[in-house]
Amino acid sequence: MKPDKILLDHGSGGAMSHQLVIQTLLPAFDNPLLSTLHDGAVIDIGNGSRLAFSTDSFVVDPIFFPGGSIGDLAVNGTVNDLAMCGAEPAYLSVGLILEEGFPFSDFERVISDMKAAALAAGVMIVTGDTKVVPKGAADKIFINTTGLGYIQPGIDVGPSRVVSGDRIILSGTMADHGMTILSRRENLSFSGPVQSDTAALNHLVKKMLQICPDIHMLRDPTRGGVGTTLNEVAGSAAFGIQIDEAHLPVKGAVAGMCELLGLDPLYVANEGKFLAFIPSNETNAVLKILQSDPLGKDAVIIGEVVADHPGQVVMKTRIGGSRMVRMLTGEQLPRIC
């Protein structure tokens, strides 16, 4: 049943977010570019040239956290959405909504972080807009970034290319960003050092595409985590996804905190990781490239695309059983990005 108000759960990245898109936004704006539900639109501009076009908004609380800030998160997020389309990110726009009374020193720190992130990713911020709203009408600073990137000839990365037999690689440990934000917001302590994994992944993706141009699909598991992202891929497809719990990488401190708080790391947000769907005969070469890079050193094969249980994600548990992995329901951590 459709609720009569927008709820926090509509922004969780989980089942209700998916319903909002499928039941309201997609019917309203439906077109062939949008209906792919990729991380960005892939636009053919003629003469065999294609652009990737993506946008994202950032409302994370707190705005400064171990490993990053809302500034570099906003740049890296859109850069990564473009990279997940197989594109080389080139240009960003920035929209800033500032709350009256926001300290200017914090504003300058956020802008400095955005500059550093853009330089690291190799993109230019070429246009933007600033609005200031009365105190209480926003919380410190909200940022929207929109990006354009080029897709090289011969690259075709998207949901329609996933087939049974593909291996699924996760580029690193799960849940680092989500648990960092939660610990800072609630003043919780970890047993070891933990920080957000926010990072631009475009350079790493480019290395992968150079050795394997036939990568079938890429997706960064941000809100809703790995579990929800895999369900989005399986969706109503004619294939299923099988993953192995023993192969899911989670740092010890993060796993301990998740267990203490009753959170499943499969559903906690990441900001510097991706899932790659790779033809089985290319898997070892891709994995070798990933593991040679600091951003992919913990990359592992976590499962495969299978002909069984179409539309569903099933996990082999550590004790040899099977567990259905469904989309996230409920809002675990609002304002995570």
Confidence of residue 191 (pLDDT cuts 50, 70, 90): low
62 cis-preceded (ω within 30 degrees of 0): yes
Average pLDDT over residues 205-233: 96
pLDDT in tens, 162-186: 999 999 999 999 999 999 999 998 8
pLDDT in tens, 35-84: 988 899 999 999 889 999 999 999 999 999 999 999 999 999 999 999 99
Average pLDDT over residues 280-285: 96
Confidence of residue 2 (pLDDT cuts 50, 70, 90): confident
Q: How many other C-beta atoms can be found within 10 angstroms of the C-beta atom of residue 118?
A: 22
Residue 188 reports pLDDT greater than 90 = no
- Comparing 2 with 271, the larger pLDDT belongs to 271
Inter-residue contact 221 to 98 (CB < 8 Å): no
Chain-wide mean pLDDT for the chain? 95
Cα separation, 177 vs 167, whole angstroms: 25
pLDDT in tens, 245-281: 999 999 999 999 999 899 999 999 999 999 999 999 9
Please report the pLDDT score of residue 14 as a whole number: 85
SS3 at position 71: helix
Task: Give the residues across from 95 on adjacent strands.
Answer: 129, 144
Please report the pLDDT score of residue 331 as a whole number: 73
SS3 at position 212: coil
How much is the CA Rg of the chain, to the nearest whole Å?
19
Please report the pLDDT score of residue 222 as a whole number: 95
Residue 69 φ then ψ, to 5°: -155, 175
Confidence of residue 190 (pLDDT cuts 50, 70, 90): low
Tokens of 181: 């934000």
Confidence of residue 187 (pLDDT cuts 50, 70, 90): confident
pLDDT in tens, 114-124: 999 999 999 99
Percentage of the chain exceeding pLDDT 70: 99
Average pLDDT over residues 317-336: 89
Cα separation, 283 vs 248, whole angstroms: 17
Please report the pLDDT score of residue 186 as a whole number: 85
Please report the pLDDT score of residue 1 as a whole number: 67
CA distances from 124 to 94, 147, 293 (A): 11, 10, 24
Q: Considering only 92-96, 140-144, 179-183, which range has the smallest mean pLDDT?
A: 179-183
Half-sphere exposure (Cβ direction) of 56: Cα atoms closer than 13 Å: 27
Residue 143 φ then ψ, to 5°: -130, 135
